[in-house]
Amino acid sequence: MMLALEIGWGTTLAIKTLVVLTIIPLGALILGYTFLLKMMSHMQSRLGPMDPGGFHGWFQLVGDGLKFLQKEDIMPAQADRKVFAMAPAVVVLSTFLIFAVIPMGPDLVVENLDVGIFYALAVSSLSVVGVLMAGWSSANKFALLSALRSAAQLIAYELPLLLATVGVIIQAGTLNLQEIVLAQQNGAIFGWSGIGDPFILTQFVGFTLFLVAAQAELSQTPFDMPVAESELVSGYMVEYTGFRFLFFFIGEFGTAFAFAAIAATLFLGGWSIPGVTGDMANILGPFVLFAKLMAVAFLMFWVRFTYPRLREDQLQSLAWKVLIPIGLINILITGILKVAI
């Protein structure tokens, strides 16, 4: 049975764009609902989000959406209007671009780029430009401080994020995300190939590093100094209301969704589960990937709702003095083992 249909490149492009355009807001909503509203309410005993609509507060998300839509669109008098309006779009654009290379099945990938993982990390670094634009154009000193913190943090944690993936890249011998999944599916741990070789087992250090660095890239607690609501009143987003704020919200949770998907692809075998191949994998793939990324996202949000915020200097010394050396040692050991075995 062939799943492939004969369609022109224009239609293909339209379908691909549509898929990416739906996945990100959908993913952001799923993460926002499951984790931000429900899990946080359970973990921190919050009663509000459990109330609307009766059963388990299911109406809360709809209510939030309606609230955002009817809010007044405010622009500060001193704001740099064009930059102010463009900033949320830049943040969301970077989120959309990441998703183009994440494979969801043997044939289900929007663009099977040869430099896959490198591309994903490169475009994810674009969001900081949007954050800086937002912080500066708001003409508000809290927003500006937050943008500066954000830039310093994102630059510091981009390195451990890259270094964490290098171990996987060495093991798989490719940058292509699809081939990384296949390397895990067909791999073997010391000769035993029962479940392939999910890199979380052999690259556990890399997995931990990746999650810590991703947490910082996403500005999630304990690395949320850029948005620290108790001192900077939510930072670079402070002047944004209504629909523009919603963009930042989608950007934040959409990027969390994308990073969880990348972590699931790099370390948990992506769309593949043992014993499923061919067309079946194309059908099951998206669901398998979704289950895995939800597991990763659960870890990320668990940390977010549990730990207090770090201080700015603690954050910087953690990145430069702990994470980067660990990342380099991990690369060294992986390289030696790759050549030796």
Which parts of this chain interact with another protein (CB under 8 A)? 78-80, 83, 113-115, 118-119, 121-123, 125-126, 128-129, 132-133, 135-136, 139-140, 144, 147-148, 151-152, 154-155, 158, 175
Decide: 290 and 145 in contact? Cβ < 8 Å: no
User: What is the smallest separation between the CB atom of 201 and another protein, expressed in angstroms?
Assistant: 26
- Cβ closer to another protein: 199 or 236? 236
The DSSP letter of residue 268 is S
- Cβ closer to another protein: 129 or 284? 129
User: What is the smallest separation between the CB atom of 37 and another protein, expressed in angstroms?
Assistant: 32
Can you tell me the distance from the alpha carbon of 256 to that of 294, in angstroms, rounded to the nearest whole number?
A: 10
Q: How many helices (H) and strands (E) does the chain have?
A: 15, 0
User: What is the smallest separation between the CB atom of 138 and another protein, expressed in angstroms?
Assistant: 8
- Cβ closer to another protein: 115 or 280? 115
Burial class (CB in 10 A: 0-12, 13-18, 19+), 34: middle
Can you tell me the distance from the alpha carbon of 132 to that of 240, in angstroms, rounded to the nearest whole number?
A: 14
- Cβ closer to another protein: 57 or 130? 130
Can you tell me the distance from the alpha carbon of 237 to that of 222, in angstroms, rounded to the nearest whole number?
A: 18
- Cβ closer to another protein: 113 or 284? 113
In sequence order, what are the residues at sequence separation of 6 or more whose Cβ sits closer than 8 angstroms to the Cβ of residue 265? 102, 103, 177, 180, 181, 271, 289
User: What is the smallest separation between the CB atom of 314 and another protein, expressed in angstroms?
Assistant: 19
Query: What are the angstrom distances between the C-alpha of 256 and each of 88, 96, 170, 204?
Result: 16, 12, 25, 20
User: What is the smallest separation between the CB atom of 117 and another protein, expressed in angstroms?
Assistant: 10
